[in-house]
Amino acid sequence: MRSPIPDYLNAVLEKVRPNEDGKPAQYIKTLANADTSKLAVALVMVDGNVYSAGDDQVEFSIQSISKAFVYAIAIEDAGLEHVLEKIGVEPSGDAFNKLSLHKGNNRPMNPMINAGAIAAHSLVVHPDATAEERTDRILKAMSRLAGRQLYVDEEVYEAELEDADRNMGIGYMLKAAGIISCRPAEVVKGYIRQCSINVNVRDLAMMAATLCNAGVNPVTGEKIMPADSVRQVLSVMTTCGMYDAAGQWVSRVGIPAKSGVAGGVIGALPGQVGIAAFSPKLNDRGNSVRAVALFEQLSRDMGFHMMDVSQIARASVSTSVAKIVAGKEEPHHPNCDRRVVIFALRGAVRFAGSERLARAIVRELGEPDPKDPGSGEHRDACAIVVSLRDAFSLNLVAKRVIHESIKRLLAEGKTVVVIDPNSVLQMDLDSLPTSQHPQIVENEKEAREYIGGTGCSAVTQSDNW
Ligand code: GLN
């Protein structure tokens, strides 16, 4: 059987292909002469699986999409605090190349418009670095993100440099405002070089997937940027990535994104999928017409909108009750013929999942509430089992809520057994008195035997107990 996904991607391409609106960027000669028939899309899953369709090998310059990644590099090299002193995070609602600074503090509004991106470029390596050092650093980092060696397209670079008065003007404005300290022309040249790096949609989707995968390239496994920087980058992509169309983009597509004037657009859906689309004709905001249409269609068809509320964390905890029974040959154990309550957590658990667990524990084991029939029914259970067998991960707050719930059960003198074969709980036992240690085991059998003695079994109405 063939996967339905490539067929679907081809169908979406054909759907947007007839759209002949827009025209390629005119102010860079090489882009003005681009083959406007080109059209491509790629998806990279966070486990590294790649799908692509259309002209997926055709290279084009990354242009403003580079701004998202160079912002991350600037954060790494100069520190977030310093970057925030120089560049804001507010959407500007202006065109990308507007000569504008925030009135109150003279900072560029955000790193996704040219003023902020040129400032971010100047923060790469260190303030006194040469243009070569900066562009070399950026090219290397972008290549690691894409998972292959990328190159600057010298023709595109020369073409943009020929007519770079506006960006040069922005550079001098930044110098006069005290935002950059180095020579404006050098910084702007470096910025134009960063925009002239060639990529195809598969490279871009891989770079986006690295963002989705908390900064780890999903194919090479290389950790390229810290998760905190990724969050910062995705935040500004969400609010500012599509320039003056950002609000419309968020409501219609709902994926953190960044576009470039060569016709590329990336989208990064955190924890799920990196997406890239390409077609050279642009709308009046400088975003590719067909790529925007493609993203709208993908988001609708595939439920990619980040504010999608159809998946509510309802099923993440299941509660069941089992009776521990000794085997025929086994000596009688005090817990035999007694009940245990099992709470099983599933999936990538965040606050909502851990809250459900805490609530379920209180309901089953707390005082009966007359308004809630059935509550407090298992107060006298001889043990509580928390099964994390099917929990893929716990985020920080989920860990804290679960640790605290376990500590409280132990403080009430309950026996708590945690099934945690993948060590997702990571409770800091060294800092706790032994009386507050839960028993951590690998599987159900070990849990049963700990509670009821060797060889005992469990009788239950539900699943594998
Ligand atoms: N190099 C281009 C510029 O500075 C990038 C703009 C863009 O892609 N929106 O004008």
> What pLDDT digit, counting tens, does each position of 132-181 carry?
999 999 999 999 999 999 999 999 999 999 989 999 999 999 999 999 99
Atom of ligand 1 nearest to the CA of 114: 4
Atom of ligand 1 nearest to the CA of 262: 8
Which residues make Cβ contacts (< 8 Å) with residue 286, sequence separation at least 6? 25, 64, 95, 96, 243, 259, 261
Other Cβ atoms within 10 Å of 421 Cβ, number = 14
**Domains identified in the chain and CATH numbers:** 4-302 (3.40.710.10), 312-460 (3.30.750.24)
As a whole number of angstroms, the distance between CA 230 and CA 215 comes to: 6
Higher pLDDT: 461 or 324? It is: 324
Atom of ligand 1 nearest to the CA of 261: 8
Instruction: Kindly indicate the confidence band of residue 464, based on its pLDDT and cuts at 50, 70 and 90.
Output: very low
Q: Is residue 461 over pLDDT 70?
A: no
Chain mean position to CA 344: 26
147-170 b/e with 16+ CB inside 10 Å = b? beebebbeebbebbbeebeebbeb
Instruction: Lowest mean pLDDT of 2-11, 214-223, 456-465, name the range.
Output: 456-465
Distance 423 CA to ligand 1 centre (A): 46
Phi, psi of 441 (to 5 degrees): -130, 170
75-109 b/e with 16+ CB inside 10 Å = b? bbbbeeeebeebbbbebbeeebbbebbbeeeebbb
- Ligand 1 neighbours, Cβ below 6 Å, are 63-64, 96-97, 114, 160, 167, 192, 195, 260-261, 286
| Ligand 1, atom 2, residue with closest C-alpha | 63
Tokens of 135: 């562009």
> What pLDDT digit, counting tens, does each position of 83-122 carry?
999 999 999 878 888 888 888 888 999 999 999 999 999 9
Higher pLDDT: 455 or 296? It is: 296
Distance 63 CA to ligand 1 centre (A): 5
Task: Calculate the average pLDDT of the chain.
Answer: 92
Other Cβ atoms within 10 Å of 18 Cβ, number = 7
Average pLDDT over residues 354-373: 91
Distance 66 CA to ligand 1 centre (A): 9
Atom of ligand 1 nearest to the CA of 117: 4
**What is the chain's percent helix, strand, coil content, to nearest 5?**
40, 20, 40
Distance 124 CA to ligand 1 centre (A): 18
Atom of ligand 1 nearest to the CA of 195: 1
Mutate to test the pocket of ligand 1, among 195, 259, 266, 284 (most ligand atoms within 8 A of CB): 195
Mutate to test the pocket of ligand 1, among 64, 156, 158 (most ligand atoms within 8 A of CB): 64
Residues in the chain: 465
Residue showing tokens 């025209």: 23
Q: Which segment, 79-88, 244-253, 409-418, is predicted with the most confidence on average?
A: 79-88
| Ligand 1, atom 6, residue with closest C-alpha | 64
Which residues make Cβ contacts (< 8 Å) with residue 38, sequence separation at least 6? 54, 55, 58, 60, 263, 278, 279, 280
What pTM did the predictor assign?
Answer: 0.83
CA proximity to 287, closest of 243, 237, 239: 243
Q: Is residue 13 over pLDDT 90?
A: yes
Instruction: Quote the pLDDT of residue 335.
Output: 76
Q: How open is the CA angle 172-178-179, to the nearest 5 degrees?
A: 80
| Residue 52 and residue 180 in contact, taking contact as beta carbons nearer than 8 Å | no
Tokens of 156: 């595109």
Q: Is residue 20 over pLDDT 90?
A: yes
Other Cβ atoms within 10 Å of 305 Cβ, number = 17
Tokens of 344: 């099983």
Average pLDDT over residues 282-302: 95
Round to the nearest angstrom and report the end-to-end CA distance of the chain.
36
Distance 28 CA to ligand 1 centre (A): 9
Instruction: Quote the pLDDT of residue 455.
Output: 74
Instruction: Kindly indicate the confidence band of residue 329, based on its pLDDT and cuts at 50, 70 and 90.
Output: low
Q: Is residue 299 over pLDDT 60?
A: yes
Mutate to test the pocket of ligand 1, among 60, 63, 259 (most ligand atoms within 8 A of CB): 63
As a whole number of angstroms, the distance between CA 291 and CA 285 comes to: 13
Instruction: Quote the pLDDT of residue 311.
Output: 62
Instruction: Quote the pLDDT of residue 221.
Output: 96
Atom of ligand 1 nearest to the CA of 27: 10
Distance 233 CA to ligand 1 centre (A): 18
As a whole number of angstroms, the distance between CA 437 and CA 414 comes to: 11
Distance 98 CA to ligand 1 centre (A): 11
